[in-house]
Structure 1
Amino acid sequence: MSNPPTVGNLHNFGMDVFPTPPTGSTTTAARWGGAKPIPVAIAVAIGVIFRFAVPKPAHVSKDAWQLLAIFLTTIAGLVLSPLPVGAWAFVCLTVTVLTKTLTFAAAFTAFTNEVIWLIVASFFFSRGFVKTGIGDRIALYFVKILGKSTLGLAYGLALGEMVISPAVPSTTARAGGIFLPIIKSLAFSADSRPKDASAKKLGAFLVQSQLQSANNSSALFLTAAAQNLLCIKLAQSLGVKFGNQWVSWLKAASLPAFISLLATPFILFKLFPPEIKDTPDAPAMATQKLEQMGPVTKNEWVMIGTMLITVALWISGQASGMASVVAAMLGLSILLLLGVLDWDDCLSEKSAWDTFVWFGVLVGMATQLTTLGIVSWISDGVEKSLKSLSLGWPLAFVILQAAYFFIHYLFASQTAHVGALYSAFLGMQLAAKVPNLLAALALAYNTNLFGALTHYSSGQAAVYYGGGYVKLPDVFKLGIVMALVNILIWAVVATPWWKILGLY
């Protein structure tokens, strides 16, 4: 039996999806490196047809209608992927300026937004967790303490992710950089191999448990996923006020997310049981890994202390008078000054800068659509339709939340889903007189909960499916079953909890 793969090294698991081609490869040289022609044609056609074939309402300005057409092309490109997300967003932003739909200042105004810079800073914190190894260490501690049984192992991994999620704002990064390597190492030690009959011994269950649990970890903290911050910003552009964003988010999510997270491994243990029920060697393996890592280093202590200070400032934002983004800037400055991170680490964090570009474009367009009256035009139309059907706001809330959730089968990205539909569905709910905070937060939590519907519904789903332990029919079957379970738990728990908090 070969040595188990080392924790944190994705290449050992065959995760090098884009291997470097051999020197002198003619295949690479001949390959077209630009945009994919068919997705480009479809995305552009959607915008052009809407702009020139759909009659413009009399009270909507030409610039507003044109911006909506470009926005539809942008969203279509996010779904069809003719270019990487950031590149496509930049091209579409250029079109808004080139066609004089927006001025340069209006097109780039969102790039000074506090939320966008908070996301960038959070990605740098994530880099610190990976670089220092503290993320691996925390996860391994949970495995050591709870890992004597397979179910305990699943709980250890789930709780480990919950603890580090506020500081690592990407479920995909947590999946690929920390938890899939640990799961594979544990599975290999139990002779549970991917794409093999032995996958069901241990690996398949741990992968599904971690994927489904991660939805609730991402929903629990505002800074646990980039799409959470995008939802907050879009809601603010529609006039929703949050007070202390981090605390408001945590208070509303805490009870339903934590109960759902605790229930998930147990339910999956019954629905998708592993063949191995006891894992007495897992704590020993975790102990060995921790011994190999040695004692907690100075940089790890600095990383822990900095994150505790930053989170404390996020929680006490109103009392301290410090904005969340300023607290994040302070934390990042400490890491740079003390050498935990260097500037090259920040410059090489491609995910941060990519998110900065496409996030800024989407927020900017959405804000301008609101300013130019498109969102209010859509909301007014929905309000009239709902009035004609005599639907009260509770029923409208349930219908629109369910539609927003299950339409995710059409999307391969949580962030693309938010960019395409969050503002529209929130506007419809506000028009139906759903209480503002209830509508905004419920949609945002839903954005996390549908992340495991399919193997393509989120970055982390693709990472875990790529591990090779779970067959595609099982992915779809467990995806819909656990989606319904999550919806039921959140409905039962959140309904009285949100009433107590005064959300409605």
Structure 2
Amino acid sequence: MNIKWKTIAPLAIWLAIYLIPVPAGLNANQWHYFAVFAAVITGLILESMPVGAVGLIGLTFAGVMGYVEHDPNKSLRWMLSGFSESTVWLIVGAFVFAIGYRKSGLGRRIALLLVRGLGRRTIGLGYAVMLSDLVLAPATPSNTARSGGTVYPIVSNIPRIYGSEPGPTAGKIGTYVMWTAFATTAVTSSLFLTSLAPNAAALGIAKKIVGVDVGWSQWFIGFAPLGIPLLVLVPLLSYLICRPEVKESPEIVVWSADELKAMGPLSRNEWIMAALVLLAMFLWITGSNPNISLPGLGSNFINATMVVFVVISLMLLAGVIDFADIVAEKAAWEVFFYFTSLLTLSSGLNEIGFIKWIADEFAEPLRGMSPTTGMILLVALFFWIHYFFSSITSHAAAVLPVVLAVGSSIPGMPMATLTLLCVYSLGLMGVISPYATGPAPMYFGSGYIGKRDFWKFGLIFGLIFFVGLLAIVMPWLQLIG
């Protein structure tokens, strides 16, 4: 058996951190747990082995060592806690939706329609993908449901039309289309108060701590000077960074029109799938949106993940998919183990107090700084510390109170501006890693974006989004008061 350096590297990272003297303010248990987390992230970046295996091994080691819970029974319950997280099952459900789109033929039909209308130039497809997310964003508070459950199953059919499959031919057009879809949902998640569930939760935290309260229109006006240009630029930036091999394809437009004719009218399963998709979208928009109330049902009458289970059950009953199709969906189950492990491990960092220690250590020296310098550094802390999180909600709950508390202790700090910069970054930060937000594992597991490319693209777009936040949104918020 040949042992590669990529396999040894995560172990070397773990051992190096383990042997470093424990920093002041932490105990050995917290520091050694961080060593495990760092080793897992290294394994994911280097692709030491399948990502699901990397996460599962790290989670098992942390559980056996009792880093989060010393009692073996409690430690096992902690290990298994991520498997019951609603976001994880929403992601798996989105993969099943993709099966329905694919097997019924509806996904191919919609993809062909997009290609016929905008497929002459590759960048036109990028703008079609962007617009599809933008239209859904204001009324869909789950970006996993919006991008993972609705946009992904459709756009995943587009590359195959161009002969671009996961793997060696992904770069023809697949990488570009998939990354554009993923980067777009990061922007739309920040553009509207109602396009990402943690947005409202973060504002609730801010209102309690510093008394800052923001309405829907105020939210939009504050972020629009950055959000709208970013939506225009994301397909173009993706085009420049992903460098699709197929630039123009006039003949594909003619071909797609012929293929649509050959498909004929909508089949029974396509009609059923279309109806179920509309049902899912209706329930996602109305059922889990606190701002929409239906007669006799009120608001928040069904969870976004419950919608997925309902629709999958109806797909099975109608024969659109078979249960064997779900079992055979390898990508869904790899993502299931990988994201569940990362979700649990990152929550463990918060539970043992490691995140609070980092936030406190970074924030304490800022108390004597000028308001502008302090604000920039606090927003930087809030944004980039997300590498330690796989849940935007838990990030907001753990770090936002610390940042706001430190900010309020700096004389002259404009707390409304600081608050908005932090909450606006919640959607944008979702682009930085393969586990940063709900839809990320789907695009990461699609096979169209190389694993190292995902980290590289995430860093590039993260830097662009972060600089835009400080260079455009910060002075705009100070100008409008």
Q: Report if TM-score (shorter chain) is over 0.5.
A: yes
Partner Cα distance (2:475, 2:301) in 1 = 32
Letter in 2 for 1:463: Y
Measure the CA separation in 2 of the matches of 1:285 and 1:291.
Answer: 10
Amino acid paired to 1:334:
L
Deviation at 1:294, TM superposition (A): 2.2
Aligned to 1:19: none
Task: Tell me what 2:90 maps to.
Answer: 118
Contact 1:430 1:436 survives alignment (8 Å):
no
* Aligned counterparts, 1:140-179, within 5 A: 140-147=112-119, 152=124, 155-156=127-128, 159=131, 169=148, 177-179=156-158
Equivalent-residue separation in structure 1 for 2:64 and 2:245 (angstroms) = 60
Paired residues for 1:2-401 under 5 Å: 32=2, 36-57=3-24, 60-101=26-67, 102=69, 103-147=75-119, 152=124, 155-156=127-128, 159=131, 169=148, 177-184=156-163, 210=177, 213-219=180-186, 259-264=229-234, 281-316=251-286, 317=288, 318=290, 319-392=299-372, 394-397=375-378, 399-400=380-381
SS at match of 2:157: helix
Counterpart of 2:295 in structure 1 is none
- Equivalent residues of 1:172, 1:463 under 8 A apart: no
Q: How far 1:288 sits from its partner (Å)?
A: 0.7
Question: Which amino acid in the other structure matches residue 363 of structure 1?
Answer: L
Q: Which amino acid aligns with 1:38?
A: W
* Structure 1 contact 213–264 (Cα < 8 Å) conserved: yes
The total of aligned residue pairs comes to 413
Say if 2:125 and 2:177, in contact at 8 Å, map to a contact too.
no
CA offset digits 1:362-421 (Å, max 9, x no partner): 22222222222111111111111222444545322554478679xxxxxxxxxx885599
Identity of aligned residues (%): 24
Secondary structure of the residue that 1:341 maps to in structure 2? Answer: coil
Secondary structure class of the residue paired with 1:432? helix
> What amino acid is aligned across from residue 378 of structure 1 in structure 2?
I
In the aligned structure 1, how far is the partner of 2:302 from the partner of 2:458?
Answer: 40
1:463 lines up with 2:448 in the alignment = yes
Q: Are the structure 2 counterparts of residues 207 and 170 from structure 1 closer, same or farther at C-alpha, using a change threshold of 3 Å?
A: same
Structure 1 stretches of 5 or more lacking a match?
1-30, 186-193, 195-202, 223-227, 242-246, 406-415, 452-457, 467-471
Instruction: Give the residue type in structure 2 aligned to 1:323.
Output: N
Q: Which amino acid in the other structure matches residue 39 of structure 1?
A: K
Q: Mark the runs of 5 or more structure 2 residues left unpaired by the alignment.
A: 70-74, 137-143, 190-194, 208-215, 291-298, 408-417, 435-442
Asked if the contact 1:43/1:74 (under 8 Å) is kept, the reply is yes
CA distance in 1 between counterparts of 2:427 and 2:111 reads 27
How high is the TM-score relative to the length of structure 1?
0.63
Rate the CA distance shift 1:419–1:259 in 2: closer, same or farther, 3 A. same
CA gap of 1:168–1:426, structure 2 versus 1, over 3 A, is closer
* Aligned equivalents of 2:238, 2:87: Cα separation in 1: 36
2-structure distance, mates of 1:342, 1:183: 28
Please report how far the alpha carbon of residue 207 of structure 1 lies from its aligned counterpart in structure 2 after TM superposition: 7.1
Q: Which amino acid letter does the alignment assign opposite residue 47 of structure 2? A: S
Tell me the alpha carbon deviations over residues 9-40 of structure 1, each in whole angstroms, 9 at most, x when there is no partner: xxxxxxxxxxxxxxxxxxxxxx75xxx54333
Counterpart of 2:212 in structure 1 is none
8 Å CA contact retained: 2:376, 2:470: no
Distance in 1 separating the partners of 2:266 and 2:388 = 40
* Equivalent AA in structure 1 for residue 7 of structure 2: V
**Contact 1:132 1:300 (C-alpha < 8 Å) held by counterparts:** yes
User: Which position in structure 2 is the counterpart of 1:413?
Assistant: none
Deviation at 1:120?
1.6
Report if the CA contact (8 A) 1:378-1:428 is conserved: no
Pick closer, same or farther for the CA change 1:338–1:213 going to 2, 3 Å.
same
CA deviations 1:178-200 (Å, max 9, x no partner) are 23233458xxxxxxxx9xxxxxx
Contact 2:180 2:234 in 1 (8 A): yes
